A and B are shown apart, each in its own frame.
Chain A
């Protein structure tokens, strides 16, 4: 407790009157088609994008992605792809998951990122430990930039949330880009457009 008091005392001495918080920077309106921009950015950072118009289309794509005896986990009730298995409390048991299919709340065109919160993850380790990640986002849920992203998130009380922009990667070895550092080696976004 002592350090806390000492630090706060020092900070109090150096406190200054400053109530100025600038307004947020609203990005200028983009004439570009948001979905096109999202696709360009995401594929540019190593993600895959499939534009689909039905859940059954997603299902057949996923079936094509899965090899024999490969473990997959689907957490989306609407998607009739494998019985959604309730996950236990042990994240280590997910190590052999080859493919995980999750829903995302929305995607951000300027960064190619998808906002996913823990309530959509089953287990928080799943989107990081699986070998391949598939995220389903509806086309109507694409926002232009991180500014709109945080407008949309607002004051939501998620316990854990993350923006996922493509597969995990590193360029630590002589700036050579390698996909699949510690997290998923590939990330596929299914952009669902339903009329």
Chain B
């Protein structure tokens, strides 16, 4: 399984090609799909316990819209309040600067072994690799992230990093890296082994990096949500805490947490709340606390009417769990730190050439938009990205020619009717022209039966009678 991923992840294959590879093992696809659908069902159940669920979504959406429009003010308010509480604030224009800043703090602390809890922002910036090449050993402490880290992979889901791993495979991995008995795949046992192993890392690490779920402008505090307690354990045993966040993670007031915390975990996993929702306002005595505010394309995206709403995202992953394409292609098919529907509308903004395939990895079914707790118009943005990608020339020439022909045929009724007639006649008399391996439809599906008459023909006949 990890070998498969290693081959695919270093290639230039696009989503469709990777998804095709993923689909070679149908039993595994079923398992992946059913596991994630189950999480979607848990989300549904949890949402239905709150009669006011749709009101919460609307309020969260409006709050986030207010934040995006006033980010210039809120970020400064946040900075002011955080600094009053003794927290050091850093600003990073892009991923590289973020990595430099974090590295600088680590070097300044004189450490080379650190622990990190879940942060998609650090994934986006490829922080781990950056630090690794500079001699810093980063241990990802979230169990799912630790598993993919040991396997040399990227996480495939922003909330459930190793959802694509089976327990037998994890057992093998632990046996190799932690010396657990071969063949033991009991989740309880394996988690216990990871607990013991990671405890040692917590105890010996003097610097902890965390992500940020919410940053409250009004108070300068940040909130970090985990089920495992790994963010808290790491921070409380460290001399230095670095919290990395995208600038859009701001919320205006502390009381707004009463809305967002009611939406976040229910949307993500169907739980009412994560085990820990920790509010860091001031560092513990003797500890240094830093927050790195990262732009990396966000302020630019704010300038786009069509695509700015993607910045409302609170990284819950609900869109991935519901997406029928994600469930049947896996996170690695998207070849970006963030997969699924939200990844597909974020990535092209950063590198249109590299990620031109992602907005097309969708049937535009709209399920994502309707599970999104902050009402991002995801499927509308997917459609709009397609227009931009084509107009900017990032679509294969063959496709353009095909569409040109389509436009010609469909704008000339006579040509259209003639083409239809010929096509149907060919299908009836020379079926092998379409019923062959060159026709992707025909690989696993029969072609529709071609009737002798079109509706138009029938109608004309009826008129004559």
Contact = CB atoms under 8 A, between A and B. Distances in A.
| Contact between A and B in the complex (any CB pair below 8 Å) | yes
Interface of A: 3-4, 6-8, 10-25, 27-28, 41, 45, 89, 91-92, 95, 110-113, 118, 123-125, 128-129, 145-147, 149-151, 153, 155, 157-176, 178, 180-184
Contacts, number: 243
A96 to B, nearest CB: 11
27 contacts: A7-B247, A7-B295, A10-B299, A11-B302, A16-B70, A18-B66, A18-B70, A24-B59, A25-B56, A91-B237, A112-B272, A118-B284, A129-B237, A150-B254, A160-B278, A160-B284, A165-B275, A168-B276, A169-B227, A169-B228, A175-B163, A180-B191, A181-B194, A181-B195, A181-B228, A182-B229, A183-B276
B63 A92 contact: no
B305 to A, nearest CB: 10
4 shortest interchain CB distances as A-B pairs: A183-B229, A125-B236, A181-B228, A18-B69
B157 to A, nearest CB: 10
Given A4-B91, A18-B65, A176-B187, 13 more contacts: A6-B93, A7-B91, A10-B302, A16-B70, A24-B256, A89-B286, A95-B199, A129-B233, A129-B236, A173-B167, A181-B191, A182-B141, A182-B229
A45 B143 CA distance: 19
Contacts of B300: 10
Interface in B302-322: 302-303, 308
Given A21-B62, A146-B262, A162-B276, A153 B299 contact: no
Interface in B114-154: 141-144, 147
A129 B73 CA distance: 38
A24 B230 contact: no
Contacts of A41: 272
B277 A17 contact: no
Contacts of A13: 303
A64 to B, nearest CB: 24
B279 A162 contact: yes
B360 interface: no
B50 interface: yes
Contacts of B91: 3-4, 7
A164 B276 contact: yes
B258 A147 contact: yes
Interface in B78-109: 91-93, 97
Given A8-B76, A20-B62, A163 B277 contact: yes
Nearest to A23: B59
Q: Majority SS of interface residues in chain B? A: helix
Interface centre among A113, A153, A155, A175 (most CB of B within 10 A): A175
A170 B302 CA distance: 36
A112 to B, nearest CB: 7
A183 B299 contact: no
A107 B326 CA distance: 38
Contacts of A45: 271-272, 275
Interface in B45-70: 50-52, 55-56, 58-59, 62-63, 65-66, 69-70
A8 to B, nearest CB: 6
Interface of B: 35, 38-39, 50-52, 55-56, 58-59, 62-63, 65-66, 69-73, 75-76, 91-93, 97, 141-144, 147, 160-163, 165-167, 170, 187-188, 190-192, 194-195, 198-199, 202-203, 219, 227-230, 232-233, 236-237, 247, 252-259, 261-262, 269, 271-282, 284-286, 293, 295, 299-300, 302-303, 308
Given A125-B233, A168-B275, A173-B190, A22 B58 contact: yes
B299 A24 contact: no
A169 B284 contact: no
B187 A89 contact: no
Given A20-B66, A25-B56, A182-B229, A146 B71 contact: no
Contacts of A170: 143-144, 191, 227-228
Contacts of A11: 71-72, 75, 247, 299, 302
A89 B287 CA distance: 11
A28 B51 contact: yes
A110 B51 CA distance: 13
A124 B289 CA distance: 15
B54 to A, nearest CB: 10
